[in-house]
Chains A and B, each alone.
Chain A
Amino acid sequence: MYNISHMSKISKDDVLRLAKLSNIYIDDSQIDAFAKDLAEILGYVEMLGEVDVSGLAPTEQVTGLKNVMRPDKVIDYGPSPKELLKNAPAQEKNQIKVKRVL
């Protein structure tokens, strides 16, 4: 059950592309290490390729719940807007202040 023989290929460019999609910068010095780790992990999970899943439906969740509804009314959630904003790194006029987009 511990067969780690597969090895997927992940290039430096792949790491940089994934990092960009994930909104993360990866240090140049770390790219090789991440490429190796990701290749090893993806290589391991590729064992699923051999499993016959014909006739099966995908499992998205295990509760069997469908369309959980609640009345459309305001409830007392507890914390005030001020409390909810207290962790914001920057604020102005009771709103979260962010950097310009462009």
Chain B
Amino acid sequence: MSIWKSIEEEAKDVATGKTTAVANVEKSLKLIDEKQEYKAIIATTRDRALARAKEVDQKIAKGAPVGRLAGVPFIAKDNFLVFGADTTAASNILKGFDAPYQATAIEKLESEGAICVAKANLDAFAHGSSTENSDYFTTLNPYDKSRVPGGSSGGSAAAVALELSPFALGTDTGGSIRLPASFCGVVGYKPTYGLVSRNGVIAMGSSLDVIGPLTRTVEDAGFVTELIAGKDELDSTMIDRAEKDYSQLDKVSLGSLNIGIVKEHMGGGLDPGVKTNVQRVISSLKKAGANVEEISLPSSKYGLAVYYILCPAEVSSNLSRYDGQRYGYSQEGVNNLEESYAKSRSHGFGDEAKRRIMIGTYVLSSGYYDAYYQKAQLVRTKIINELSSAFKKFDVLLGPTAPMNAFKIGENIDDPLKMYLTDVITVSANLAGSPAISVPAGLVEGLPSGVQIMAPQNKDKFLLSVAKRIEEIV
């Protein structure tokens, strides 16, 4: 039996006095304490969370409006600026950083009465697929403690799988919400690029980054999206919200759906257990009347290469702000400003950040720019064009979320390229800005395995509605 009800029911229980915000926050904090061995959490915001819970309860006692998430605790990945605990992005360079303002997504949730109780672990600066690049510790997979939870939002995914709170927030640049969702058996949703404000979220790859929810059900993911989506004058990269009310999903008939299976995502390199599991889902969809056909997207095999040029290029630019002067770690005993920059950065960044900064610097340097950076931008167009044609024929594309299930801690850590390959399927959605969701599709040899469903840009509500139906039949 679940520890938490649906997010909507939890909020209703608080609003109607069946339970209190304080009781919910205390329950969540107790669970966090009891499940410390999984290392999903970097820090709690205990004092602030309890104070806010009291405020919510007082409002209810007075009959004042409390919002649609009254007294619902949640956990934010530690790259969201949040009051009540340090914001570090799990990096040494930001240890001790006390946010002067909160991310817009956090503000929006708080304005509906939700309460952030803790900050979840991640690969430092969201660079990774396992949380092993965290400068704190590695989060353990709730299904097998010898395995990784996936990444980079591994702490958020493990937290939801362990039910430490009804939902968590994550960020997804190349698969960082969907991969850990698949590895931990939860729902991970990457909205259309630009639908949710990124103000107050530590930037990684700005043409790719989105934020989104990790939840136990698709309906919960829609509910959270409903409350965090929409324009924010502090983020100038936002699109108009095309659809209304993501919390009221449409009843989609599977019999009316054309579902495309990307041939290249089902090919060599795919774990046989993952493949069999996806094929089982496909048979269920066919049985339910859906038209399921294979489609070849020949350029999809270049997605990861495009990503590992564009993302590091953007990382090298975004991480240049960490220079030890305005905030963050600053090396003592240096002679001049240049030395202060370099020594602070050398100490504050881990090896993966250094690798990405140097790769980004390389592909952007004159002489290599055309061959790497611009070529990647051109191939990105080719990948987007292929996806657009696919979406003329198919309503959604479906396949595995990742080519493998949760791997052993330490298995890929000495081979950065092998670690990157975990994102080989998920990156397409980031390159195209499309919404995509990972839905749990059962266990393979005791480990969770997700299916990814992807829709065209701005079809978020449709995607969530389809995902809900698929969730029901798998």
Contacts and interface: CB of A to CB of B under 8 A. Distances in A.
Question: Max chain B CB contacts within 10 Å: which of A23, A46, A63?
Answer: A23
Contacts of A53: 375, 378-379, 381-382
Contacts of A68: 236-237
Given A2-B269, A88-B325, A58 B378 contact: yes
23 contacts: A1-B268, A19-B354, A23-B323, A23-B341, A24-B345, A25-B343, A34-B351, A38-B359, A42-B362, A45-B363, A45-B376, A46-B305, A47-B305, A53-B381, A58-B378, A59-B384, A70-B233, A88-B327, A89-B325, A98-B325, A98-B337, A100-B337, A101-B336
The B contact surface, by secondary structure, is helix
A20 B260 CA distance: 47
Given A18-B361, A90-B330, A102-B336, A48 B306 contact: yes
Nearest to A87: B327
Given A22-B361, A87-B100, A62 B193 contact: yes
A60 B207 contact: yes
A50 to B, nearest CB: 9
Contacts of A59: 377-378, 380-381, 384, 431
A94 to B, nearest CB: 14
A48 B379 contact: yes
Given A75-B233, A96-B326, A19 B100 contact: no
Contact of A41 (B193, B365, B416): B416
Shortest Cβ-Cβ A-B pairs, 10 listed: A62-B433, A58-B377, A87-B327, A89-B330, A53-B378, A79-B100, A83-B100, A2-B269, A68-B236, A18-B358
A79 B199 CA distance: 14
A84 B326 CA distance: 9
Given A58-B380, A98-B325, A45 B372 contact: yes
Interface in A17-70: 18-19, 21-26, 30, 34, 37-38, 40-42, 44-49, 51, 53, 56-63, 65, 68, 70
B444 interface: no
Q: How many residues of A sit at the interface, in one of the four size bands?
A: 35 or more
A30 B194 CA distance: 39
Nearest to A8: B362
B305 A34 contact: no
Contact of B309 (A2, A45, A51, A99): A45
A1 B380 CA distance: 17
B354 A34 contact: yes
Interface string B304-338: 11101100000010001001111110100011111
Given A24-B342, A38-B358, A70-B233, 15 more contacts: A1-B424, A18-B358, A23-B345, A42-B359, A44-B305, A48-B305, A51-B302, A56-B378, A58-B377, A61-B207, A68-B236, A68-B237, A79-B101, A98-B325, A102-B336
Contacts of A70: 233, 236
Nearest to B378: A53
A47 B417 contact: no
Nearest to B434: A62
B382 A56 contact: yes
Contacts of A45: 305-306, 308-309, 363, 372, 376
A51 to B, nearest CB: 5
A46 B371 CA distance: 9
Nearest to A97: B325
A9 interface: no
Contacts of B323: 23
A87 B301 CA distance: 44
A98 B268 CA distance: 54
B328 A87 contact: yes
A10 to B, nearest CB: 8
B100 A84 contact: yes
A19 B101 CA distance: 33
Contacts of A56: 378, 381-382, 385
Interface string B416-431: 1100110010000001
A7 B376 CA distance: 18
B358 A24 contact: yes
A98 to B, nearest CB: 5
